Amino acid sequence: MSEPAYGSRPSSTVEPSALLHEPPHPGPARPGSGHAAPTTVVPEHGPATAYLPASSGTSSGTSSGTSSGSFPGAHLATERNWATAAHLSGFVAAFFFLGFLGPLVVLVTEGRRSPFVRRHAVEALNFNLSILLWLTVSAVLILALVGLLLVPAVGILYLVSTVLGAMAASRGDEFRYPLTIRFVS
């Protein structure tokens, strides 16, 4: 059996509905395991190296393999990477109180191409703008000594929430930040 030439299309194509089922195992099945090796399918080039297991939490029935967010990994890897970058890019400029610039750049550049990236970029942008507001209020309240407790609390909220948002985006899940004012919708 010969392999297809590099860059050529395979002779058989994979139907989108085939992604919801376990593929045939190339070797002997392990009794009782019920799991297949993880995989992705690239539409232009056919199947890649492995398949998503059928027990990954997919809803039975009507899922068409689109990026509906119904199960982890439903979005393309590039979409998940851009969504993760929208959350983490705020760290880069946060030292200059410009943490909103990273999510804004992701929103303007990649947000038009993918609704998933847009949702995460808007969420990260709103959170970074809200944090800027909360830090400004906390800095003013330092005069009343209340800000001495609020500034570290806002900092911890920023750090923990941003990491949780980036982790959710990398899994392909949706995420909503706490204590966020919705400036951009």
Beta bridge partners of 47: 41
Are residues 159 and 101 part of one domain? yes
Are residues 60 and 81 part of one domain? no
Are residues 97 and 25 part of one domain? no
Answer whether residue 70 is part of any domain. no
Are residues 120 and 158 part of one domain? yes
> Which two tokens mark 172?
């392909």
27 contact partners, CB below 8 Å, separation of at least 6:
none
% the chain with pLDDT above 70? 57
Count: domains in the chain: 2
Are residues 21 and 90 part of one domain? no
Are residues 81 and 60 part of one domain? no
67 contact partners, CB below 8 Å, separation of at least 6:
74, 75, 76, 79, 116, 172
Q: How many residues belong to the chain?
A: 185
Answer whether residue 99 is part of any domain. yes
Are residues 81 and 20 part of one domain? no
Tell me the C-alpha distance between 107 and 94, whole Å: 17
Query: Does the model's pTM come out above 0.75?
Result: no
pLDDT band at 160 (very low <50, low <70, confident <90, very high): very high
Contact 65, 20 (CB under 8 A): yes
Are residues 163 and 83 part of one domain? yes
Domain around 15: 1-65
pLDDT tens-digit series, residues 63-104: 334 444 444 555 788 899 999 988 888 877 666 667 788 899
Are residues 158 and 96 part of one domain? yes
Beta bridge partners of 41: 47
pLDDT tens-digit series, residues 26-71: 555 455 555 544 444 445 444 443 333 443 443 333 333 444 444 4
Are residues 82 and 59 part of one domain? no
Is the pLDDT score of 138 beyond 90?
yes
Q: Which of 43, 65, 87 is the last residue of a domain?
A: 65
94 contact partners, CB below 8 Å, separation of at least 6:
128, 158
